Amino acid sequence: MIKLIVKRALLPFALMFALWIITWHLSGLMEYQAHASLWFIPAGLSFAAFIMFRWLAALPIFIAALVTTFGLNFSSNESLELVGAITKAAPFALVHVVVYGIGGMACRFFIGHFNHLQIVQKILTFLLSAFITTLVATFLSIATLNATEMLSESANSAIWLPWWIGDLAGVYILTPVFLLLFARIWPDAKRDSRLFAFRYDKSPKRAWPPFIFKLGVLLSLTTMHLMLDVWLENPEFAYFIFFLCIPQMWIVFTESIPRQCVSLSVLAIFITLSFQILDMNSSAITYQFALCVISANAYFGMAVPSLVTTNNYLLKRSNTDGLTQIANRQHFAEQAKQLLRDRRNYPMSLVLFDLDKFKAINDNFGHAAGDQALVTTAKIVQQSLREDDLFARYGGDEFILLLAKENLQGATNIVERIKQELAEAKNDDSQFTIQGSFGIVEIAPDESLKLAIERADKQLLKQKTYART
């Protein structure tokens, strides 16, 4: 019991507290003016924590925000008493927890109402939630610092925009990274992380060298841009940073989602370190906006492979019979008409067949046995076909075949082989054998699919009539 409490409560509490403290100090190194970092990492951590753990994240984040703000007050004013420092720090910590808590849980709530196919809606919800949360947090935090005399009101107009954009960049870039981290550290969190899955199926495993190469290209282009920005000393040149969305999208379209998120974080860290080395604070706000736009653009880009996967999945479902997993009647008709239009001087045959005494199988052995008979039939026929042949479930216990480059005799030979394999098929209960009646026709050069099916249907009826007599 104690181990379970430590694992599920104390350990996450301690790790979240430590992460918040560490990321706060890292953000302090990125400050280019008072209360304004190029991107504020704890904002992303807080947003992700409230999304994943809801109000369970409130206490460790509140204590961490209280400790850091208290330390800031105490270091800037050594004459301040302990109680006074805590009194000044507590309102700021409370505002941060309440705003990010409401924002993160609202994001979770609304995203939870979308299914796995509504990818764009999920992305829009995340981006808008982060936008509103960071904006509200910025103004309330500044108002709190004014009220506790930690910030002069005269500085409000100068710091609100870089403060907000820094927080927004931190949330946009790092929230997915922290969500992935939480899901990896705590298995219980994986269930909740599925709310934010962008792909319908799992991303295939990809080799690391191509990803490292693409990341190297991205960082090389970033280095070239930053060096030229310093060398040219032209404020307008900084806007070319937005073109980095092109190599970033290359990564988005070709790599898995975790690697996409990592590439965004690496890009942001690289730009931040370069700023410190090259002393580029005059262009900071431009690069802050660029980080937000590039990350938002990347998230919408992430939806494209998911949409393609989803569309392929839906297309396959619309073209496939759910039980036998072969083509359905509509898809067969579309493909067959195209095959007949492209037909050259070679024969084609059509086969329409159904299972004998199928109703008796359902009545005597149950519908599960009937379904199994249909599935077994589909598998056997598929094994007898070539790449150019078409096969579909026509309806009920009826199936249809279009045999390319086969005349009537060749089609008859294939049908005889199928009949034999059906008769030898082993069913789960082995209480009945599968037999079928077949209507076989050779399609005339100018004959339509409809007329060929009608002729095959007549042949099928003749076969069934003959079998009864």
Q: What is the CATH number of the domain that holds 355?
A: 3.30.70.270
| 322 assigned to some structural domain | no
Question: Residue 442 pairs with which residues in a beta bridge?
Answer: 349
Judgement on whether residues 303 and 421 belong to the same structural domain of the protein: no
Rg of the chain, C-alpha, whole Å = 33
Judgement on whether residues 277 and 370 belong to the same structural domain of the protein: no
pLDDT score at 426: 64
Q: Which of 274, 293, 317 is the last residue of a domain?
A: 317
From 330, 273, 327, 268, select the one nearest 295 (Cα to Cα).
268
Judgement on whether residues 62 and 161 belong to the same structural domain of the protein: yes
Q: How far lies 244's CA from each of 188, 241, 247, 441, in Å?
A: 37, 6, 6, 61
| 180 assigned to some structural domain | yes
| Residue 237: CA count within 13 A, CB half-sphere | 13
Tell me the two tokens of residue 21: 């403290």
In sign, the C-alpha dihedral spanning 197, 200, 204, 206 is negative
Judgement on whether residues 150 and 297 belong to the same structural domain of the protein: yes
pLDDT score at 182: 86
| 324 assigned to some structural domain | no
- Distance (Å, rounded) from C-alpha 325 to C-alpha 71? 65
> Do 297 and 249 meet the contact criterion of CB atoms below 8 Å apart?
yes
Residues of the chain predicted below pLDDT 50: 1, 4-6, 198-203
pLDDT score at 5: 47
Alpha helices in 279-366 (DSSP H): 284-319, 329-341, 358-365
Judgement on whether residues 21 and 130 belong to the same structural domain of the protein: yes
- Distance (Å, rounded) from C-alpha 348 to C-alpha 412? 12
Per DSSP, the residues of 88-110 read HHHHHHHHHHHHHHHHHHHHHHH
pLDDT score at 199: 42
| 296 assigned to some structural domain | yes
Q: What interhelical angle do 245-254 and 284-319 show, nearest 10?
A: 30
How many domains are contained in the chain?
A: 2
Burial of 63 (0-12, 13-18, 19+ CB in 10 A): middle
216-254 as b/e: b if 16+ CB within 10 A: eebbebbeebbeebeeeeeeebbeebeebbebbbebbee
Judgement on whether residues 260 and 340 belong to the same structural domain of the protein: no
pLDDT score at 351: 96
Judgement on whether residues 199 and 247 belong to the same structural domain of the protein: yes
Q: Which of 272, 293, 317 is the last residue of a domain?
A: 317
List, for residues 67-117, the tens digit of each pLDDT value.
888 766 555 555 556 666 677 788 999 999 999 999 999 999 999 888 776
Judgement on whether residues 277 and 395 belong to the same structural domain of the protein: no
Judgement on whether residues 294 and 417 belong to the same structural domain of the protein: no
List, for residues 256-296, the tens digit of each pLDDT value.
888 888 999 999 999 988 887 888 777 888 999 999 999 99
Judgement on whether residues 260 and 349 belong to the same structural domain of the protein: no
pLDDT score at 173: 94
> Do 440 and 456 meet the contact criterion of CB atoms below 8 Å apart?
yes
Judgement on whether residues 339 and 306 belong to the same structural domain of the protein: no
Whole-structure pTM over 0.75, yes or no? no
In sign, the C-alpha dihedral spanning 253, 257, 261, 263 is negative
Domain that holds residue 138: 2-317
- Distance (Å, rounded) from C-alpha 20 to C-alpha 193? 20
- Distance (Å, rounded) from C-alpha 362 to C-alpha 364? 6
| 323 assigned to some structural domain | no
Residue at 349: amino acid letter: S
Judgement on whether residues 271 and 244 belong to the same structural domain of the protein: yes
| 446 assigned to some structural domain | yes
Cα(first)–Cα(last) distance of the chain, in Å? 76
List, for residues 118-164, the tens digit of each pLDDT value.
788 899 999 999 999 999 999 999 999 898 887 888 888 889 999 99
Q: Which of 317, 340, 356 is the last residue of a domain?
A: 317
